[in-house]
Amino acid sequence: MFRNGEKEIQKAKGHWGENNDYGKKRQSPTEHGSKQNSGNRNRPIMTVTYLFVAIFLGMMLYICQYFIVHRQELLNNSYNGRQQLFMSKNQRGKIYARGGEVLAQSDIGDNGSEVREYPYGNMFAHAVGYATHGRAGVEALGNYYLIQSNAPLEEKATMKAVGAKYHGDNIYTTLDVKMQEVAYKAMGAYKGAILVSETSTGKILAMVSKPDFDPNEIEGIWDSLVTDKESGILLNRTTQGMYPPGSTFKIITALEYIRENPETYQDYHFQCSGSYTDGTDRINCYHGQNHGDEDFTKAFAKSCNAAFAHIGLQLDKGKFHNTLEGLLFNKELPLHILYNKSRIQIGRDSTNGEMMQAAIGQGTTGMSPIHLNMITNAIANGGYVMKPYLIERVENTAGTVIKQFTPSGKTDLMTKQEADILKELMHSVVEEGTASRLKGLSYTAAGKTGSAEYSEVKEESHAWFTGFAPAQEPEISVTVIIEGAGSGGEYAVPVAKRIFDAYFGVS
């Protein structure tokens, strides 16, 4: 029917042309004979047929696409009773570190109920998360896999025979126990966040957020955690924390200045006297330091607020706005865990004071550590960033890989030239600037410090560092924020150094 349909329509066309009036009763078809049947091809019928076929194919495609894209979030929806269904059939799977260490597992208690165990206690509290009273961390991210079972049929049959639950699928994370431990200890009793990632892939090796909690005790401490709004223990500061980026933001200000002055940025000169004034607005250097005569590299390496306030005033507000959008400010990040969007207000109507504040990472700007880490990775990679991820693969109990995750979501944040210039600038911060504690080691490093003032009255600041190593062929990046510690160079850089040391095997 449909193979010859088109041809026959062509033939039939002439016939209709002459006899278009349906009302005129055609001569009896019998007189035309069966060959004239082709004259009866009704084009509208064909049109309607094709129309419905097209609509149905579209609908089938839509259903399949919708199911593939949304099945995880739909299963995780609290209104979907199938979670309970799976949990009643399957024992929640295990979560492993990349080295095979167990980070979370379920045991069947005496009364038959499942008890979730976290052998490392507080250390992985935010990274691995919890699975009662809602879910967080990998427990939330991988819930879809943990509650389903792809165990081999023989195993299921054995389990069914004794009336036991099937083993849920196991998750192998990208988390590295050694890196996590070093980072966790380096943070000490401070509040703050540390994120360690593999620059070229986006694998998260360590994710520390303090204050923390013992997920083994979550049942008992839940109520106090929820009522305690002050400390924000349940907040994963690496992704949900909103901090003033302080001087680490100068990376972005520098990028914009280079973009606007690609030929002449190296000719930049500034005479620092410890502060910069524009009208009534005055920007001071950290602790009123006087940096003297500076070129662009020195201003960046010494983290001179006065010079960057001066640079900030020379930027095109509209172009700066576009650059910030391109760097994912005020935008969704490619993350599946809970996070907050970084926010910044730069536009055509920004005042000089606002521009100066924004240029040195103060004012109303707020940034999450993971966002800063992604920008750091883009510089390390020569312009692009991969989507950060925590789950490496999903296996069934027999070790068959159910799902393998690979680096994905490559996004260009800047050009290779821009990244290379920033890489050099960040290297100079280590060689001749504020991160000199990373100088002269067995490995090279590059980065940017920050001392973000968060209070109007007190001279207190959050200590920031974001950087990567080795400086030329980067492998890992580290982003550290220590709340209220002081300057980045003094407090955050040593933490980063311990992590780099551990990674490169320096004792």
Interface residue list for other proteins (CB under 8 A): 1-4, 8, 16, 20, 22-23, 25, 29-38, 40-46, 48-49, 52-53, 55-56, 59-60, 62-64, 66-67, 70-71, 74-75, 77, 79-82, 85, 153, 156-157, 160
Q: How far is the CB of 396 from other proteins (least distance, A)?
A: 14
* Helices 352-359, 250-260: inter-axial angle, 10-degree rounding: 110
Which two tokens mark 194? 């540390």
Taking the least distance from each CB to other proteins, the nearer of 43 and 319 is 43
Q: How far is the CB of 37 from other proteins (least distance, A)?
A: 5
Q: Tell me how far CA of residue 372 lies from CA of 176, 222, 353, 378, 442, in angstroms.
A: 21, 31, 24, 10, 26
CA angle 157, 158, 163 (to 5 degrees): 95
Which two tokens mark 163? 């009336």
Taking the least distance from each CB to other proteins, the nearer of 56 and 277 is 56
Taking the least distance from each CB to other proteins, the nearer of 48 and 506 is 48
**Going by DSSP bridges, is the β-strand pair 166-167/90-91 parallel, antiparallel, or unpaired?**
parallel
Q: How far is the CB of 60 from other proteins (least distance, A)?
A: 6
- Distance CA(365)–CA(380), nearest Å, equals 24
Q: How far is the CB of 327 from other proteins (least distance, A)?
A: 30
Q: Tell me how far CA of residue 150 lies from CA of 85, 90, 101, 298, in angstroms.
A: 15, 10, 21, 58
Taking the least distance from each CB to other proteins, the nearer of 45 and 108 is 45
Taking the least distance from each CB to other proteins, the nearer of 86 and 118 is 86
Q: How far is the CB of 62 from other proteins (least distance, A)?
A: 5
CA angle 103, 109, 110 (to 5 degrees): 160
Q: How far is the CB of 38 from other proteins (least distance, A)?
A: 7
Taking the least distance from each CB to other proteins, the nearer of 41 and 126 is 41
DSSP 8-class letter at 488? I
Q: How far is the CB of 149 from other proteins (least distance, A)?
A: 11
Burial of 492 (0-12, 13-18, 19+ CB in 10 A): buried
Whether 280 contacts 286, CB under 8 Å = no
- Distance CA(365)–CA(359), nearest Å, equals 10
Q: How far is the CB of 134 from other proteins (least distance, A)?
A: 17
CB within 8 A of 43, min separation 6: which ones? 9, 12, 13, 16
Which two tokens mark 447? 């980065």
- Distance CA(251)–CA(434), nearest Å, equals 14
H or E element at residue 293: strand 292-295
Taking the least distance from each CB to other proteins, the nearer of 59 and 115 is 59
Taking the least distance from each CB to other proteins, the nearer of 92 and 291 is 92
Taking the least distance from each CB to other proteins, the nearer of 23 and 279 is 23
- Distance CA(286)–CA(171), nearest Å, equals 46
- Distance CA(156)–CA(161), nearest Å, equals 8
Taking the least distance from each CB to other proteins, the nearer of 28 and 280 is 28
- Distance CA(425)–CA(297), nearest Å, equals 6
Q: How far is the CB of 282 from other proteins (least distance, A)?
A: 47
Q: How far is the CB of 399 from other proteins (least distance, A)?
A: 20
